[in-house]
Chains A and B, each alone.
Chain A
Amino acid sequence: MKKAIYLMASIALLVTACTENKKPADLLNQQASLPAGLNFSKMGFKVINSSINVKSNTMSTLYGNNTAQTNARSSTKLRPAGEIFALVTWKKQPDKHWFGANIPGDLQSLEMVKTTTSGTIYQLYKGQNLTLSTDTSLQQQRTRYILEQTPSIMP
């Protein structure tokens, strides 16, 4: 009798162990997450578009503040001061839960472009901690690339 109770208890344990919910920490995409101190979600950015770079195996999301978003959407290509664009880029990784999908993997960079009355400012932050890079070699090319982006259709 005792044996039977033990057996049933262990089976019950086994069953509950199998169906136990995963811990939230394991469910987050940690490697793609932005540094906590940055508070990116409080910066008031909205999505402009999303893109994939096949050669570098990366995927990016372009954000803009209200001014940037409105201008990107209008057909007039004026560049007033006060626009802020932010391009976040990740390495791609296969989605463990869906063969057929790639999702953001390691955070690679954040590029910021600000338009001012005296021209545009470009800043590049690199790596998991988004440290400010002093490399300015691609500054002009990247600024142009970001400013030329067209918004995704969001009805």
Chain B
Amino acid sequence: MGKRTTRSHKTFLLIASILLLIFICIQFIRPEIKNPPVTADLQAPVPVKAIFQRACYDCHSNETNLHWFDKISPVYWRVAKHVETGREVLNFSSFNNLAPADQKGKLWEAFNQIALGAMPLKDYQFVHTSAKISAADLAILKKYLTEMAVKQKPEDTAKINALNKQSALLQSSAGASPLPTAPNGVTYIPDYKNWQPISTTERFDNGTMRVIFGNDIAVKAIKENHINPWPNGTIFAKVAWDQLAGKDGNIKTGAFKQIEYMIKDNKKYAATAGWGWARFKTPKMIPYGKNAMFTTECVNCHKPVANQDFVFTPPIKF
């Protein structure tokens, strides 16, 4: 009995020292986290900026401030990866270099990622308790965004001209050229206009309005309540127009801005959350994205609704 205990004790000590040795060794594997200079920092009122600095800047700026516990491998590896991808998606240190409309878009997206509980990341918040965003913080951000929402000017001549120009162009063009294809291989589908709309949206954040069309498979899935997950073959087409306010203030669709597709195929598009994503801008249908990596942007933004198969808008049964 006594001998057996000493033997198992010895084995335990041996395993523990091997683990300790491994732990010490991995401390030398250190991906470098540099803090490059801040070139064009976010410009926002102090209380607004303070929230972003406190909750987001560790991963979304060049002012990463690590605690001692962040620096211990293997935690450190995870932190390094977070900082790397965080800066890629949104970097407040070069934020002011973005076009004004893109800056606004990023801020609305950031707010919605926070409001839906996707950001700051749960594990990060767990150890960095100061990064938590309170209801009061959310209210400050909401007020700031509401004030920057696009206000519609009645009978905006520039917008009317843009619409008329598009109408004239479409009347004259034959449209026989080959269909444009996005960098991930998704081709523009002109048949969307014959599909059923499954919802409309008014976007006061960016002054657009949208109709979301669903193909036959999507409409059937809605009828039969098979929408989580959506069946393979489902396609959504979301068309966005400028809002155009009339004399009475009522709003019609103005110039066509873009069309976006989501094509469900859990095998073919397994790497991008089971959906094939694409965006084509202007009536010329210019594919969005420099390379196939543009889909990271799509998936990141849709991630907060992963538990409803990455689809934001609740569909209407027709």
Contact = CB atoms under 8 A, between A and B. Distances in A.
Contacts of B194: 46
Interface stretch (B3-11, B40-48, B67-75, B252-260): B252-260
Contact of A28 (B190, B202, B315): B315
B211 A47 contact: yes
A54 B175 CA distance: 36
15 contacts: A29-B199, A30-B317, A32-B199, A34-B316, A41-B196, A50-B253, A52-B202, A55-B250, A97-B313, A99-B108, A99-B205, A152-B211, A152-B241, A153-B167, A153-B255
B288 interface: no
Given A27-B308, A41-B196, 4 more contacts: A33-B317, A51-B250, A104-B200, A155-B285
A92 interface: yes
A2 interface: no
B130 interface: no
Interface in B200-217: 200-206, 209-211, 213
Given A41-B318, A152-B241, A95 B251 contact: no
A141 interface: no
Interface of B: 108, 111-112, 115-116, 142, 145, 149, 163, 166-167, 170-171, 175, 190, 192-194, 196-197, 199-206, 209-211, 213, 219, 222-223, 225-229, 239, 241, 243, 245, 248-253, 255-256, 259, 283, 285, 304-305, 307-309, 311-318
Contacts of B318: 33-34, 40-41
A150 B107 CA distance: 34
A61 B227 contact: no
A153 B225 contact: no
Contact of B200 (A22, A53, A61, A153): A61
B171 A99 contact: no
Contacts of B205: 99-101
B225 A49 contact: no
Contact of A101 (B203, B255, B283, B315): B203
A155 B255 CA distance: 11
A103 B163 contact: no
Given A22-B308, A23-B228, A24-B225, A155 B202 contact: no
Given A28-B222, A29-B316, A22 B250 contact: no
Contacts of B213: 47
Contacts of A13: none
A112 B295 CA distance: 42
A65 B241 CA distance: 23
Given A34-B316, A52-B251, A25 B112 contact: no
A32 B239 CA distance: 20
Contacts of A51: 250-253
B280 to A, nearest CB: 9
Contact of B317 (A28, A92, A150): A28
B145 A99 contact: yes
Nearest to A55: B249
B201 A102 contact: yes
A22 B228 contact: yes
B308 A152 contact: no
Contacts of A36: 317
B204 A102 contact: yes
Contacts of A117: none
A32 B309 CA distance: 21
